[in-house]
Amino acid sequence: MNPVNETLAMNAVPTPLAFPPANEPAAPEPSARKAHVTIRGLTKRFGDQSLYENFDLDLPRGRVVTFFGPNGCGKSTLINMICGLIPMDAGEVLFDGKTREETTIGYVFQNYRDALFPWKKAADNIQYPLRLRGVPKADARRRVEELVAEFEVKFDLNRYPWELSGGQQQLVSIMRALAPRPEVVFLDEPFSALDYEATLSIRERLQATFMRSGVTTVIVSHDLEEAVYLADEVFLLTKRPTRVAEVVDVGLARPRGVQTLSQPDFVRTRAHCLEVFQREVRR
């Protein structure tokens, strides 16, 4: 059994979801932001190299945030430390004042080929976090049916992962992460290994899920267009020792489609993010 999947699944306790606030044109003042994930004093070193040093961060409730920054700044490492997959050298992470063990977390891995259990059918992979927590088979099956309807799944979930395309495998991974109705969902470059057609399709389905559920969502992206397109807020990171250079409120109405990519507000926001990124890379 993959120990990473096992660690995350152990936190999978069904929890009701709140609905998100209306999308606002401007970022709320820091004092008005309702933090869902609170990080204080996070420190991480690799040898004599400091990646994060006494790092503080608040992630807002019910919004989609993306992390974007220079290569090697520790975007994936950050969410892996928040989830407990990588140990911190120091610091504390709380979810609405609760510990990680008290919180339902969903996680979508970058490498979909290794993320699923190959000996389990797709439907059983999706049910896994529910069954691990003792949810009755009938209830687990009903939850899969809900997700099938929500994501408009057309392929056979009685097939094994290795019988599915890459896009289908990643969709199964996303459905598994959402099965226990998590309080926070983390996605680590979820589209990086997919072709463009699959990426567009899954982006559209994920966006509909964000709007329906209001689940707090954190996405690591290496693609600036994607980071802006998906986000309510883009967290732009610096080179190591990593800090937040700027938080950019996207402020674009949802639902978003391909036409969004050419809208003046989107182009302007992407250009600003690129300017900050280039400034940090040159430091």
DSSP-derived secondary structure letter, 98: B
pLDDT averages per 10-residue partition of the chain, 283 residues: 46 35 39 82 96 98 97 97 97 97 96 92 98 96 97 96 95 97 97 89 92 96 97 98 98 95 98 97 90
The CATH number of the domain where 138 resides is what? 3.40.50.300
Range of the domain at 43: 3-21+30-282
pLDDT 10s digits, 174-222 = 999 999 999 999 999 999 888 999 899 999 999 999 999 999 999 999 9
β partners of residue 52? 44
Angstrom distance (rounded) from CA 5 to CA 67 = 22
Residues 6+ apart with CB under 8 A from 215: 17, 62, 106, 178, 181, 182, 183, 184, 185, 209
Token digits of residue 215:
């689940």
8 A C-beta contact, residue 202 and residue 243: no
Element housing 37 (H / E)? strand 35-46
DSSP-derived secondary structure letter, 86: S
How many Å separate Cα 277 from the centre of its chain?
A: 21
pTM above 0.85, yes or no: yes
Token digits of residue 261:
């990519």
How many structural domains compose the chain?
A: 1
